[in-house]
Amino acid sequence: QVQLQQSGPGLVKPSQTLSLTCAISGDSVSSNSAAWNWIRQSPSRGLEWLGRTYYRSKWYHDYAESVQSRIIINPDTSKNQFSLQLNSVTPEDTAVYYCARVTVTTYYFVDWGQGTLVTVSS
Amino acid sequence: EIVLTQSPATLSLSPGERATLSCRASQSVSNYLAWYQHKPGQAPRLLIYDASKRATDIPARFSGSGSGTDFTLTISSLEPEDFAVYYCQQRTNWPDTFGQGTKLEIK
């Protein structure tokens, strides 16, 4: 059974960087049959897919256009986890952030982290 | 980007009643549509994928139908634990997008 455990601060100041980590158990971040995603939810935007990383003989990254200029999702194979960095945050980035796994079996978000409420405020 | 429109925004029903939730896509998504249940303080849970396939351990009272642009999630007889927000999601066109949700509340 796959489990995703999120960690990271719940409060970030405007213009600073939001950083979250998702630790994986029961699968490998280097798996050739999974993709590792970040999704957020806010009252104004609903559920919004932010980006993903996945390994298919080499590493790939895809990002939503809405955040493409300021997002980085990185795998960490030594710790079997992946991270989210969102730069230059504003109060509009206040949301609950989730990590989630997609597999080539269903191609949908089957496994999710517990969610982290991140508030952008000074 | 494909826009998914869910209706109604809020549905008020009693336990034991039948719930019918709708999701309409701005263009065809074939059958590449999923439904999620989301309760406060919890992660979303995948209920239905590929429009009509139940995910692992999902009770038979949940069913999905539709193809192309019009989809329906039906809960045949509501249990108290079914009151939550429901989202549809498409994976036909990148990026994956979600509907804005239907809140199923107790009447």
CA dist B46 and A110 (Å) reads 6
Q: What is the pLDDT of residues A59-109, one digit of tens each?
A: 999 999 999 999 999 999 999 999 999 999 999 999 999 999 999 888 999
B20 Cα to chain A: minimum distance (Å): 21
Q: What is the pLDDT of residues A18-59, one digit of tens each?
A: 999 999 999 999 999 999 999 999 988 889 999 999 999 999
The pLDDT of residue A44? 86
The pair of structure tokens assigned to A88 is: 């230059």
Mean pLDDT to the nearest integer, B22-46: 95
The pLDDT of residue B2? 94
Q: With beta carbons less than 8 A apart as the criterion, state whether A5 and A69 touch.
A: no
Cα distance between the two ends of chain B? 35
Q: With beta carbons less than 8 A apart as the criterion, state whether B37 and B47 touch.
A: yes
Element (H, E) at A62: strand A59-63
Give the count of beta carbons closer than 10 Å to the beta carbon of residue B69.
17
Q: With beta carbons less than 8 A apart as the criterion, state whether A32 and A88 touch.
A: no
Shortest CA distance from A52: residue in chain B: B95
CA dist A21 and A3 (Å) reads 13
The pLDDT of residue A43? 87
The pLDDT of residue B105? 97
The backbone torsions φ and ψ at residue A22, rounded to the nearest 5 degrees and listed phi first, read -125, 110
pLDDT at residue B44 greater than cutoff 90:
yes
The backbone torsions φ and ψ at residue B25, rounded to the nearest 5 degrees and listed phi first, read -100, 150
- Find tokens 């007889």 and name the residue: B77
- Give the CA count within 13 Å in the CB-facing half-sphere of A107: 14
Q: Chain B contacts of A65, Cβ < 8 Å?
A: 95
B101 with A46: Cβ contact below 8 A = yes
A49 with B97: Cβ contact below 8 A = yes
